[in-house]
């Protein structure tokens, strides 16, 4: 299974800019649904999520449904985790 749509750095840059402008909320997500894609646009990289790829669905307080590739979801959450760790370290 292909799990890449291009250079990771490019996708990461998109994910970072979306966190910056609020398109991707700065929220650590614990509950997700995963399944095969249905052609919806990924909130991370803006590419359609193909039927052969794993799609991660995030329901934020029932108000907003985000769909991301598993890889894009991981990048987004990893970035927030890194920021939390940096913030925690700065408090000490």
Binding site for Zn ion (CB under 5 A): 42, 44-45, 69, 72
Q: In degrees to the nearest 10, what's the CA dihedral of 77, 81, 86, 92? A: 160
Q: Which is nearer to Zn ion, 27 or 56 (CB)?
A: 56
CB of residue 71 vs Zn ion: minimum separation in angstroms? 7
Q: Which is nearer to Zn ion, 28 or 40 (CB)?
A: 40
CB of residue 33 vs Zn ion: minimum separation in angstroms? 16
SS3 sequence, 57-84?
A: EEEECCCEEEEEEHHHHHHHHHHHHHHH
- Compute φ and ψ for 32, nearest 5 degrees: -135, 160
CB of residue 89 vs Zn ion: minimum separation in angstroms? 29
């Amino acid at each position: 299974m292909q799990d890449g749509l291009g250079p990771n750095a490019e996708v990461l840059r998109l994910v970072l800019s979306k966190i910056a402008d609020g398109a991707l909320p700065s929220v650590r997500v614990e509950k997700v649904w995963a399944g095969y894609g249905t052609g919806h646009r990924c909130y991370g990289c803006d590419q359609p999520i193909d039927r052969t790829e794993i799609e991660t669905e995030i329901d934020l307080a029932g108000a907003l449904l985000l769909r991301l590739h598993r890889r894009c979801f991981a990048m987004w959450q990893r970035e927030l985790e890194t920021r939390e760790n940096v913030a925690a370290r700065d408090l000490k």
